[in-house]
Amino acid sequence: MLIPITIKQNPDGTIDAAAPALPGCEVHGQREEIGLPTLRLLIEDALTVRLLEERALPAEDVDAGIATATTGTTRHAHVNINVGHLVALAKHQRGK
């Protein structure tokens, strides 16, 4: 599943990044090499919680063929999430 993200470059070299389809999945003021992996973990956690609660996942981005785009200091990209792995994790968690 491709989750769209936005990455804003700050003047001090840090980034603010977010997954708009998943409220709360955002990082602020971190270096890119730390912020993007952190954002990925937040996205995986949010999707796992939705699976555990049997809530719908966000619709996959219809523009998934466009890998990246840039607008000023903001870049748009996608994070590829293995939902099958998260489904298995959620099933395991429910079994506890």
Average pLDDT over the chain reads 87
**What domain count does the chain have?**
1
**pTM greater than the 0.75 cutoff:** yes
Interatomic CA distance for residues 48 and 12, integer angstroms: 33
Average pLDDT over residues 49-53: 92
When pLDDT is cut at 50, 70 and 90, the band that residue 93 belongs to is confident
Q: What is the CATH number of the domain that holds 31?
A: 3.30.160
pLDDT at 60 over 90: no
Q: Which structural domain, as residue segments, surrounds residue 75?
A: 2-94
